[in-house]
Structure 1
Amino acid sequence: MTEQQNLDPAGTSSGAAKKGGINRRDLVRSAGLAGLAGLVVGGAGGYFVAPRGSAGGTGGSTGAGGTLKVGIVAPITGPYSGDGQEMVRGAELAIADINAAGGVLGQQVELVTADIADQAPENFVQAAERLVSRENCVAVSGGYTTTTSVEYDIYAQAGVPMFHTNTLQANTDYVVDNGITNIFQACPTEIWYASGFIQLMQEWIESGVWTPSSNTAAVISSNDSYSISIATVLQEGIRELGWDITLYEEVSVPYADWGPQLAKIRNDPPGLIFITDYLAGDLAAFANQFASAPTNSLLYQQYGPSVPEYLELAGDSANGVVWSTTIGTLPDQIGKSFRQRYLDEYGSEAGLSQSGAQYDILRLWAQAASRAGDANDFARVCDSVRNSTFRGVVGTYNFEQTELTAIPYPDAVNDPSLGMPHLTYQIQNGEQVLISPAPYTTGNFQLPSWVS
Structure 2
Amino acid sequence: MLPTLMTILKRQAPACVFSLAALCSLGAMAQSPGPLKLGIIGPMSGGSADFGQAMLNGIEIAVSEINAVGGYLGRPIELVVKDDKGDPETGLKMSEELVKVDKVVSTIGFCNTGVAIKAIPVFQSNQSPLIVPCAAGSPVTQQVEPAASYIFRVSPSEDIKAPFMVKDILRRGLNKVAIFADATPYGESGKNDVVKALAASNLKPVHVTSFPLGVKDLSTEMEAARAAGANVIIAYTVGPENAVIARSRAAVKWTAPLVGPWTLSFPNFIDTAGPAAEGTMTVQTFIAEPSNERRVAFLSAYKRMHKDSRMAVPMASAQGYDAVYLLTYSLFGIRDGRLTGPAIKAQLEDIKRVYYGVVATYDKPFSTASKDAVTENMLVMGLVRNGAVTFAYPEDAKRNLFVQRKTQ
- TM-score normalised by structure 2 residue count: 0.79
Structure 1 residue 142 corresponds to structure 2 residue 109:
yes
* Pairs within 5 Å for 1:181-330: 181-202=149-170, 204=171, 210-212=172-174, 215-279=175-239, 281-325=240-284
How far apart are 1:103 and its partner, in Å? 0.4
- Identify the residue that residue 161 of structure 1 maps to in structure 2: 129
Hey, what's the Cα distance between the residues in 1 that align with 2:201 and 2:109? 37
How far apart are 1:239 and its partner, in Å? 4.5
Q: Given residue 368 of structure 2, which amino acid in structure 1 is its aligned partner? A: Q
Residues 96/240 of structure 1: CA separation in 2 closer, same or farther (3 Å cut)? closer
Matching residue within 365, 375, 378 for 1:408: 375
Hey, what's the Cα distance between the residues in 2 that align with 1:336 and 1:69? 29
Structure 1: gaps spanning 5 or more residues: 1-62, 205-209, 411-420, 443-452
Contact kept, 8 Å, 1:172 with 1:404, in 2: the verdict is yes
Hey, what's the Cα distance between the residues in 1 that align with 2:339 and 2:36? 9
Hey, what's the Cα distance between the residues in 2 that align with 1:377 and 1:128? 18
- Identify the residue that residue 360 of structure 2 maps to in structure 1: 395
Residues 407/383 of structure 1: CA separation in 2 closer, same or farther (3 Å cut)? same
Contact kept, 8 Å, 2:114 with 2:186, in 1: the verdict is no
Residues 257/172 of structure 1: CA separation in 2 closer, same or farther (3 Å cut)? same
The structure with more helix, counted as a fraction of residues: 2
Residues 330/126 of structure 1: CA separation in 2 closer, same or farther (3 Å cut)? farther
Hey, what's the Cα distance between the residues in 2 that align with 1:329 and 1:386? 29
Contact kept, 8 Å, 1:269 with 1:297, in 2: the verdict is no
Question: What is the root-mean-square deviation of aligned Cα atoms in Å?
Answer: 2.7
Hey, what's the Cα distance between the residues in 2 that align with 1:79 and 1:246? 30
Structure 2: gaps spanning 5 or more residues: 1-30, 402-408
Contact kept, 8 Å, 1:283 with 1:301, in 2: the verdict is no
- TM-score normalised by structure 1 residue count: 0.72
- Identify the residue that residue 5 of structure 1 maps to in structure 2: none
Q: Given residue 60 of structure 2, which amino acid in structure 1 is its aligned partner? A: E
Matching residue within 117, 123, 134 for 2:90: 123
Contact kept, 8 Å, 1:330 with 1:395, in 2: the verdict is no
Hey, what's the Cα distance between the residues in 1 that align with 2:236 and 2:127? 34
Contact kept, 8 Å, 1:287 with 1:314, in 2: the verdict is yes
- Identify the residue that residue 382 of structure 1 maps to in structure 2: 345
Q: Given residue 90 of structure 1, which amino acid in structure 2 is its aligned partner? A: G
Contact kept, 8 Å, 1:277 with 1:283, in 2: the verdict is yes
Contact kept, 8 Å, 2:58 with 2:318, in 1: the verdict is yes
- Identify the residue that residue 364 of structure 1 maps to in structure 2: 326
Deviations 1:373-398 (A, max 9, x none): 32624333322221124332122341
Hey, what's the Cα distance between the residues in 2 that align with 1:383 and 1:124? 26
Moved more, 311-320 or 189-198: 311-320
- Identify the residue that residue 69 of structure 2 maps to in structure 1: 101
Residues 396/123 of structure 1: CA separation in 2 closer, same or farther (3 Å cut)? farther
Q: Given residue 78 of structure 1, which amino acid in structure 2 is its aligned partner? A: G
Residues 114/336 of structure 1: CA separation in 2 closer, same or farther (3 Å cut)? same
Contact kept, 8 Å, 2:114 with 2:184, in 1: the verdict is no
Contact kept, 8 Å, 1:270 with 1:296, in 2: the verdict is no
Moved more, 250-259 or 181-190: 181-190
Hey, what's the Cα distance between the residues in 1 that align with 2:287 and 2:130? 20
Q: Given residue 126 of structure 1, which amino acid in structure 2 is its aligned partner? A: K
